[in-house]
Amino acid sequence: MFQRLEGIQRRFYELEKELSTPDIIKDQKRFRKAAKEHADLGEIVKVYERYLQVEKQLEENKQMLSDPDPEIRDLAKAENEELAKEAEELKEKLKILLLPKDPNDEKNILLEIRAGTGGEEAALFVADLFRMYSRYAEKKGWKVEVLSSHETGMGGFKEIIALITGDKVYSRLKFESGTHRVQRVPETETQGRIHTSAVTVAVLPEADEVDVDINPSDLRIDVYRASGAGGQHVNKTESAVRITHIPTGLVVQCQDERSQHKNKAKAMKVLAARLLELKEREQQAQQSEERRTMVGTGDRSERIRTYNFPQGRITDHRIGLTIYRLEDVLQGELDEIIEPLGTHFQAKALASEKTT
């Protein structure tokens, strides 16, 4: 591990030197690549250099432990205990920082939320979750663009698909995929009974052109007239687009825009992301433990998280985390759940590294 860290430290300072030369500014592509690598290595080098400082201090304090003055010996002993504890914490942090990075962590995402069990109440909860993720994105300085949606008459959604762009979006939201269960009294319930509904969330990394190769001859593209909730609004032109990827049978459609070309472009983004996800699932089938947490059938029993309104409680069942700040979370205060999830999956990855 320490040989690797020495190599990373050397590379970091090589990049620092390279970035300070006037020549690199002329080549913006090379500059951006070097700057990104320098930033990625920065945290590792910072922690490693602090670890080296602590180890050096521990070594220097050894002489003080044999000092004739008992007060100096006690001080050295107390300081060494603190330093030894910090050294161990830094070592564990370095192990996590050296774990293989998910190549998709830097990517934007397609967020797909669909109503499962529960009818109109599930559709309303789709709207609640979309609002929650939108507010979280706003707090992070990300941009949200709706690509496709199917509204219901009461303000809910049967399905909504959005592109979220920004800094490391996938790394923050990748563990949100799965079935989210809601327990509350629906607005339509006259006797005050609590209903349980389910909504599925899928977080897919946005596909780059190099990630998937889509052959135009593999596509069947149909156009039709778009309609709004309950068929109340019908466009006079055939602007809605449905794309079928014949080899896989994947079907995507988009009707939100009045322009057929814009709908087609948005549908292609969704198709590319789904093909990338399919490709990665096939490649990682032998290591698919985390992938099994992706969306199931939408049945309420296949849950990763429960939102209980009567108790103001949220429980993430994968890590046994329960918090009583439901309203805050629905307003976009998601870090209290996302941070522990990240730590949990990092620990699993670290344990897996140790056994291989």
Tens-place pLDDT, residues 294-312: 444 444 446 899 999 999 9
Question: Rounded to 5 degrees, what are φ and ψ at 349?
Answer: -65, -40
Q: Would you say residue 277 has pLDDT above 90?
A: no
Tens-place pLDDT, residues 30-65: 888 888 888 888 888 898 899 899 888 888 888 788
pLDDT value for 172: 93
Strand order in the sheet with 250-254: 219-224, 240-245, 250-254
Residue that is written with structure tokens 């995402």 in the block: 109
pLDDT: is 278 or 238 the higher one? Answer: 278
Residue 243: beta bridge partners? 221, 252
Give me the mean pLDDT over the 127-132 stretch. 96
The Cα 146–Cα 68 span in angstroms is 73
Which two three-digit tokens encode residue 348? Answer: 């699993």
Q: Would you say residue 319 has pLDDT above 70?
A: yes
The Cα 111–Cα 133 span in angstroms is 9
Which residues does 41 contact at the CB level (< 8 Å), separation at least 6? 8, 11, 12, 15
The Cα 42–Cα 90 span in angstroms is 15
- Structural domains of the chain, ranges and CATH numbers in brackets: 2-97 (no CATH), 109-206+311-351 (3.30.70.1660), 216-282 (3.30.160.20)
**HSE value, Cβ hemisphere, 13 Å, CA-based, for 232:** 7
Tens-place pLDDT, residues 187-210: 766 677 889 999 999 998 888 765
